Amino acid sequence: MLSPTETAQLTPHPLTPIRILVLYVTAGAGHRRAAEAIAQAARAQHPDADVRCVDALDYTSRRFHAFYEATYLFLIRHAPWLWRISYDLLDWAPAYRLVQPFRRRWNLWIGRPLTAWLREVQPDVVVATHFLPADVCSAGKAAGWLPGALVVVVTDIFPHRFWISAEPDAIVISTPGGRDVLSRRGVAPERIHLQGIPIARAFTAPAGDRRALRERLRLSPERLTVLVTSGGTTVGPFEQVVGSLAHLEAVLPQRLQLLVVCGDDGRTRDRLTERAGTFGMPMQVFGFIDHMAELMAASDLIVTKAGGLTVSEALGSGVPIVLYHVIPGQERLNAQFVARHDAGLIAPHPRHVARAVRRLAEEPARLARMREAAKALSQPDAAERIVAQVVGPLMGKT
DSSP labels, 6-37: HHTT----TT---EEEEEE--SSSHHHHHHHH
Query: What gap in Å lies between CA 154 and CA 164, rounded to an integer?
Result: 9
The Cβ of residue 226 has, within 10 Å, a number of other Cβ atoms equal to: 25
Please give the residue that has the higher pLDDT: either 74 or 284: 284
* pLDDT of 338 over the 50 cut: yes
| Reported confidence tier of residue 396, pLDDT bands at 50, 70, 90 | low
224 and 299 both lie in a single domain? yes
pLDDT digits (tens, 9 = 90+) for 212-248: 888 888 999 889 999 999 877 788 899 999 999 999 9
Q: How confident is the model at residue 13 (pLDDT cuts 50, 70, 90)?
A: very low
| Residues 262-285, mean pLDDT to the nearest whole number | 90
Please indicate, yes or no, whether residues 165 and 261 belong to a single structural domain of this protein.
no
Number of structural domains, the chain? 2
Model confidence band, residue 278 (pLDDT cutoffs 50, 70, 90):
confident
11 and 81 fall within a common domain: yes
Q: pLDDT, tens digit, for every residue of 14-44?
A: 444 799 999 999 876 789 999 999 999 999 9
Q: Tell me the residue range of the domain where 279 lies.
A: 202-377
Select from 303, 289, 129, 294 the least CA-distant residue to 204: 294
Percentage of the chain modeled with pLDDT above 90: 67
Statement to judge: residues 223 and 160 lie in one domain: no
Which DSSP symbol is given to 251?
A: T
Q: Are 179 and 173 in contact (CB under 8 A)?
A: yes
The whole-model pTM stands at 0.87
Residue 117 is inside which H or E element, if any? helix 112-121
Q: For the CA atoms of the chain, what is the radius of gyration? A: 21
Q: What is d(CA 54, CA 43) in angstroms, rounded to the nearest whole number?
A: 15
pLDDT at 279 over 90: no
Are 55 and 153 contained in the same domain? yes
Same domain flag for 152 and 20:
yes
138 and 266 belong to one structural domain: no
> Whole-angstrom Cα distance, residue 227 to residue 257?
9
Given a contact cutoff of 8 angstroms between Cβ atoms, the answer to whether 292 and 313 are in contact is yes
Q: Please tell me the predicted confidence (pLDDT) of residue 65.
A: 85
CATH number at residue 304: 3.40.50.2000
Instruction: Verify that 141 and 14 share a domain, yes or no.
Output: yes
* Residue 355 reports pLDDT greater than 80: yes
What burial class does residue 273 get, using C-beta atoms within 10 Å of its C-beta: 0-12 exposed, 13-18 middle, 19+ buried? middle
Same domain as 149, residue 97: yes
> Which residues, 6 or more positions from 203, have their beta carbon under 8 angstroms from its beta carbon?
292, 293, 296, 313, 316, 317, 380
224 lies in the same domain as 181: no
Q: Are residues 86 and 206 in the same domain?
A: no
pLDDT in tens, 168-217: 999 999 999 999 999 999 999 999 999 999 998 888 766 567 778 888 88
Q: What is the pLDDT of residue 76?
A: 79
Residues 76 and 31 in one domain: yes
